[in-house]
């Protein structure tokens, strides 16, 4: 009992269903708003929140935390700590933050730069 390929009747039914499903997926993908934001906190308090969708040109935000100045760059695609007066520069070395749940922390300055979103965190795992 071997089966041949799809019959013409089956193709007439299956093909439009597949096309409709693909169209729905594409519509959802391209019309869904990306609700990610950059949140900058100083000493546990929100200092500034910027939505990625509202950034038209790169922003340089100066943040003063615990007598240490940081410069945070925010573009439409990422956020990062450009510079810090802290001694270890771990926050600068974190690089570009692009996914919900990522963060850069400057402990001496008590500053946190994190990406938040409407959905679940995009981080697969933490080591």
Tokens for 45? Answer: 């308090």
* Residue 47, pLDDT score: 93
Residue 92 and residue 28: Cα distance in Å, rounded? 36
C-alpha pair distances (Å), 77 with each of 12, 39, 52, 104? 43, 14, 7, 16
At 54-97, the pLDDT tens digits run: 888 999 999 998 899 999 999 988 999 999 998 889 999 999 99
| ∠ Cα 123 29 126 (to 5°) | 5
φ/ψ of residue 102, rounded to 5: -75, 150
Say if CB 52 and CB 37 are below 8 A apart: yes
Q: Is the pTM of this model over 0.85?
A: no
């Amino acid at each position: 009992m071997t089966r041949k390929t799809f019959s013409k009747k089956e193709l007439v039914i299956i093909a439009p269903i597949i096309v409709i499903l693909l169209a729905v997926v594409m519509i959802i993908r391209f019309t869904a708003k990306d609700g990610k934001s950059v949140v900058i906190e100083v000493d546990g308090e929100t200092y500034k929140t910027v939505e990625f969708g509202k950034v038209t040109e790169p922003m340089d935000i100066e943040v003063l935390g615990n007598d240490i100045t940081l410069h945070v760059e925010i573009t439409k695609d990422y956020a990062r700590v450009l510079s810090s007066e802290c001694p270890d520069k771990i926050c600068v070395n974190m690089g570009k933050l692009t996914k919900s749940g990522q963060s850069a922390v400057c402990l001496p300055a008590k500053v946190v730069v994190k990406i938040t979103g409407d959905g679940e965190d995009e981080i697969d795992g933490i080591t």
